[in-house]
Amino acid sequence: MKKTIILSLVMLFAFFSILIMSNCGGGGGGVVPTPTPTPTTPPGGYTLSGVLKDLVTKNPISGATVKLYSETVQGSSLIARDYYYAETTTLLNGSYIFTGIPAGNYSIEYQALGYITFILRKIPIYNNMEDFNQEISNEAEWNEMAGEGHHYDSSVGYVGVGFMEQYGEGNPSISGVSAYINPSTGISIGYITDDNHVDWNATATTSQGIVIFAGLNPQLTYSINAEKAGYTFQGLPIENVSAQAGVFEFYPIFGSNPLTPTPAPTELTPTQTPGVPTPTQTPASNLTFTGEVTNLQEQPISGVNVQLMDLQIPPHTLDTKTTGADGVFTFTGLLAGDYRIRFTHTDYPPMNKYIHLEESENWTNMTFPSNTDCEQIFGSAPNENYGYIIGEVYDVQNERPLSGVEMNLTPNTYQIRGYLEENEQTHQITFNSQSSVTLNMGIVIFYGVTLGQTYTLTPAKSGYTFEPANMSNISVFGGELVELPSFKGTQQ
């Protein structure tokens, strides 16, 4: 029986068709358009649940890790898996569940001992999704399907793309689609046959509608495109495809014949306008925030990607800038409220800074530690399996960092709590994990914070009050530093 990981893709394709039909009301005949996702998130969020099974034996897989990531879709072509959202483990019956999910685009990653890691991309969640079942297979099953010369190689990446009709009952797969990848050096392109093999000599999709790209270099980024006479496709080209070694990823793509009118794609939008003050606040608009990104040596950093985001979980990107040679960036037209700014650069671990904006701020310094800095200060670079929270306390009366403050994080699911200290003569910064209170920099760092939870940070020092009294609903992201706004301490 020729069943492989690709059959799982075919089954997934069927699931997407069912999902689309159910969201349209289902059951009717004739032309059924792909629905416009509803951006409203109900109280408590959505639920996604399913069962993970072995593709051949159909036995449930227990103890597998299932990770949910949020994705940012910019325009119709650029898709980036950005933020680790939550993680769970399958039970004895292979079941898993995620709850409290805001509306948005997501990817799901399945990892199980002895199986090929499998990632489903571009999953729009805008209702409760039950029976999101998946079957994964092992290396031997891939080798049987792919044939000689194309056996599984854990050092390269694999990408599958499936093409479905945007219109038509059941959203059937599209045959006759020719797909391309750039750069193409070292890449094998195959199309799934009707008997679920890979034909590496074919030039277009069969009735299965699936193409496979094998041999992607994890050090490169790729662009995938496709064509069929008379058809247009949403979400093409797929840009910035960054393969992971030994991992199989799958993208669904919808196409339509232009003879049938196609509605313009509607992207998911936040359920709440980011930065809008609460009813007790006075709205302020058209504010400006300007900052300078520097390293620990106070030198400006150019080429930093700066994202302005809201505080939803997962967050939504509102605007993006890139620093120039002076390290400066500016966001304009902002509302008063709370924001998160994310900084990314090839030589630096991703960093997030929370800000509260009541009026325009025209010069704020953002210190960005490099991977080398983190290794020197903390003993190791950030690990994507954990988060990192940075808190700071400021003495309002003396206008300087406040020492002697105990900083408590709840829940206390972290590996190390330490305080930063600067040598006044050499200006060398050290991480002191033995101290129980803030030192001369007034900064605490919680290293190795468990993902998938929200946290509350509370300062305490005898004779002092703090504004705010605590910071709650702090979310962390794998391998990223999260810097909170400063607590303002006042001596009584």
Could you give the CA distance from residue 342 to residue 344 in angstroms, rounded to a whole number? Answer: 7
pLDDT of residue 242: 83
The mean of the pLDDT values for the chain is 78
pLDDT tens profile 61-72: 888 899 988 776
* Pick from 17-31, 163-177, 335-349, 461-475: least confident: 17-31
Using CA atoms, how far residue 470 sits from 226, 388, 447, 467, in Å, is 52, 18, 19, 8
Could you give the CA distance from residue 84 to residue 385 in angstroms, rounded to a whole number? Answer: 9
381 pLDDT more than 80: no
pLDDT of residue 33: 36
The answer to whether 326 and 295 have CB atoms below 8 angstroms apart is no
Parallel, antiparallel or unpaired: strands 178-182 and 222-227: antiparallel
Percent of the chain with pLDDT over 70: 80
Tell me which of 404 and 71 has the higher pLDDT. 404
The conformation of residue 254, written as its DSSP 8-state character, comes to E
463 pLDDT more than 90: yes
pLDDT of residue 248: 92
Could you give the CA distance from residue 387 to residue 476 in angstroms, rounded to a whole number? Answer: 5
pLDDT of residue 225: 93
pLDDT tens profile 42-53: 566 788 888 998
pLDDT (mean) for 384-400: 88
Cα of 67 vs its chain's centroid, Å: 10
C-alpha closest to that of 348 among 421, 426, 418, 296: 296
Using CA atoms, how far residue 484 sits from 26, 329, 390, 474, in Å, is 47, 19, 6, 9
pLDDT of residue 7: 42
Cβ contacts of 385 within 8 Å, gap of 6 or more? 451, 478, 479
* Pick from 120-129, 400-409, 464-473: least confident: 120-129
pLDDT of residue 170: 55
pLDDT of residue 30: 33
Could you give the CA distance from residue 391 to residue 477 in angstroms, rounded to a whole number? Answer: 16
The answer to whether 44 and 52 have CB atoms below 8 angstroms apart is no
Q: Is 375 helix (H, G, I), strand (E, B) or coil?
A: helix
Highest mean pLDDT among 17-31, 97-111, 177-191, 352-366: 177-191
Q: Is 488 helix (H, G, I), strand (E, B) or coil?
A: strand
Tell me which of 317 and 98 has the higher pLDDT. 98
pLDDT of residue 491: 92
Cβ contacts of 68 within 8 Å, gap of 6 or more? 48, 85, 86, 87, 98, 101, 106, 107, 108
399 pLDDT more than 60: yes
Highest mean pLDDT among 41-55, 129-143, 363-377, 400-414: 400-414
Parallel, antiparallel or unpaired: strands 361-367 and 287-294: parallel
pLDDT of residue 29: 34
pLDDT of residue 336: 77
Tokens 């129980």, residue located: 436
pLDDT (mean) for 161-171: 71
* Pick from 27-36, 114-123, 388-397, 424-433: least confident: 27-36
The answer to whether 466 and 488 have CB atoms below 8 angstroms apart is yes
pLDDT tens profile 88-119: 888 888 889 888 887 777 889 999 988 999 99
pLDDT of residue 40: 52
Specify the DSSP element, H or E, that contains 19. Answer: helix 5-23
pLDDT of residue 266: 37
56 pLDDT more than 70: yes
DSSP 48-82: EEEEEEETTT--B--S-EEEEEEEEEETTTEEEEE
Could you give the CA distance from residue 450 to residue 86 in angstroms, rounded to a whole number? Answer: 10
Using CA atoms, how far residue 313 sits from 100, 104, 272, 274, 486, in Å, is 9, 10, 12, 12, 22
pLDDT tens profile 191-248: 998 887 899 999 999 988 999 999 999 999 899 999 998 888 877 888 888 888 999 9
The answer to whether 205 and 177 have CB atoms below 8 angstroms apart is yes
Could you give the CA distance from residue 249 to residue 12 in angstroms, rounded to a whole number? Answer: 12
pLDDT tens profile 268-277: 333 333 333 3
165 pLDDT more than 70: yes
